[in-house]
């Protein structure tokens, strides 16, 4: 947050220009006044006391004896004081003061402009480093710079931090993507090569194993395509009106065979009607992903409780299992691509590492969000927020 004591760039520049101008005029005027004050004091000091007393009296009322008043002035101050034009000495004084003030104005101008110049310089150096791939480069903030420049530099630093994070994610994603794509391809090619070499018989069983690897590869490419569309903002939703609770109950019914195998119970809690306008197929994908994760990583004989509520203008869907949960430090990374926790989300468990990323992309595309938390009672809590649309529901 930018400190309120910083002024705007326009005010910062104008304030310093006005300060220099007014300060210069005040200094010149003060020096001229001081010159005359010193001169008058010195002349009065040299006057005889009688003449000085007479002059003081006449200076208070010159009309008493104008001739005598001018005689004293001309005698002690010179004839130039009685002429209507500016004396040469005055011009010389003004010229001298201007010559003295010019370096002062230049130095003060450089001093005032230095914070602005330094801030621009730090931004320039940081921008050059960013163009060379140093995305984490931060520009130093100059405390005396104007508010716009401080804010600009702070926003620049925020941008570079995000660029560094994106670059790190992309690099890690590329490595993981290459591994995920290579694994089924290697398995399928190895199996086919074995059949060509006569190591394996070209039986329906062997071909089925190859087909499973190719299907896994096809599913992986479809998921990557969906995520790329979501990242580009081009994920097309089939907008229709439906009941969220009915969709949840439908997907839970689909999972009964799998839940029976894992010995888990899936329970859906909610009250109809729960009208919503969105893509039922895509949201069904989200629900399926979360249910499959709970079945895959939950404990045998456990429960998955799904709750749907209307809270503060949003539909809140909570998926709570009683499994081992995840490490606290893993929570912020759960929805990144190809991310698995070492202990509970190893690759042999069957996931591609894209399910939660897809769930987040679909929720965001619907104007909502998804988050994870560790409840006090153990397990893992996944919460989805979707905007409540009563008007669309009534129509």
- Judged by average pLDDT, the poorest of 22-31, 184-193, 243-252 is 22-31
pLDDT value of position 313: 81
With contact defined as beta carbons under 8 Å apart, do 384 and 368 qualify?
Answer: yes
Q: How many angstroms separate the CA atoms of 131 and 79, rounded? A: 73
Name residue 265's beta-bridge partners: 303
Tell me the mean pLDDT in the region 136-142.
Answer: 87
- Residue pLDDT, tens place only, 146-178: 777 888 888 989 999 888 888 877 777 777 667
Range name among 122-131, 230-239, 332-341 with the lowest pLDDT average: 332-341
Q: Kindly state the tokens that stand for 225.
A: 């395509």
Phi-psi region of 306 (alpha: psi -120 to 50; beta: other; left: phi over 0): beta
Summarised one tens digit per residue, pLDDT across range 346-359 is: 444 555 678 888 89
Query: Using CA atoms in the order 305, 310, 316, 321, what is the torsion angle rounded to 10 degrees?
Result: -10
DSSP-assigned letters across all residues of 146-168: -HHHHHHHHHHHHHHHHHHHHHH
Q: Which domains does the chain have, with CATH numbers?
A: 9-148 (no CATH), 158-231 (1.10.287.130), 240-394 (3.30.565.10)
C-alpha–C-alpha distance, residues 154 and 147, integer Å:
10
Among 186, 197, 118, 182, smallest CA distance to 153 is for 118
* Selected residue with higher pLDDT from 105 and 277: 277
Mean pLDDT of the chain: 80
Phi/psi for 232 (5° steps) reads -85, -5
Q: Comparing 235 with 91, which gets the higher pLDDT?
A: 235
Give pLDDT tens digits for 190-203.
888 888 888 888 88
Mean of the pLDDT values across residues 209-236? 80
CB 199 within 8 A of CB 371: no
d(CA 304, CA 289): 13
pTM confidence score:
0.56
């Amino acid at each position: 947050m930018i400190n309120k004591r910083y002024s705007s760039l326009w005010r910062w520049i104008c304030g310093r220009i006005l300060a220099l101008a007014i300060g210069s005029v005040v200094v010149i005027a003060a020096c001229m006044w001081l010159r005359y004050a010193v001169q008058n004091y010195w002349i009065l000091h040299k006057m005889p006391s009688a003449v000085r007393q007479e002059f003081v009296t006449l200076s208070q009322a010159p009309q008493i004896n104008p001739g005598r008043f001018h005689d004293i002035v001309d005698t002690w101050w010179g004839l130039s004081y009685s002429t209507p034009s500016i004396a040469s000495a005055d011009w010389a004084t003004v010229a001298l003061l201007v010559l003295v003030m010019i370096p002062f104005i230049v130095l003060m101008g450089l001093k005032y402009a230095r914070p602005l110049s330094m801030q621009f310089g730090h931004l320039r150096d940081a921008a050059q480093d960013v163009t060379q791939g140093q995305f984490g480069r931060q520009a130093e903030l100059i405390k005396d710079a104007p508010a716009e420049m401080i804010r600009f530099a702070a926003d620049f630093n925020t941008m570079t931090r995000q660029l560094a994070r994106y670059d790190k994610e992309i690099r890690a994603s590329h490595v993981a993507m290459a591994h995920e794509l290579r694994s089924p391809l290697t398995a399928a090619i190895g199996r086919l090569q074995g059949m060509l070499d006569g190591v394996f018989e070209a039986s329906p069983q062997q071909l089925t194993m190859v087909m499973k690897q190719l299907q896994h590869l096809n599913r992986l490419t479809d998921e990557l395509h969906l995520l790329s569309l979501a990242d580009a903002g081009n994920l097309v939703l089939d907008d229709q009106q439906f009941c969220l609770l009915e969709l949840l109950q439908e997907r839970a019914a689909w999972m009964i065979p799998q839940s029976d195998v894992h010995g888990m119970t899936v329970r859906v809690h909610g009250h109809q009607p729960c009208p919503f306008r969105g893509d039922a197929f895509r949201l069904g994908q989200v629900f399926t992903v979360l249910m499959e994760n709970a079945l895959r990583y939950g404990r045998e004989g456990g429960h998955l409780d799904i709750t749907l509520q209307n809270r503060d203008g949003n539909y809140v869907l909570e998926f709570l299992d009683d499994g081992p949960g995840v490490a606290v430090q893993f929570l912020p990374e759960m929805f990144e691509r190809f991310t698995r926790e070492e202990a509970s989300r190893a690759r042999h468990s069957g996931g591609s590492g894209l399910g939660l990323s897809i769930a987040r992309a679909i929720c965001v595309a619907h104007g909502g969000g998804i988050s994870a938390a560790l409840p006090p009672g153990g397990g893992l809590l996944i919460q989805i927020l979707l905007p409540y649309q009563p008007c669309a529901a009534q129509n």
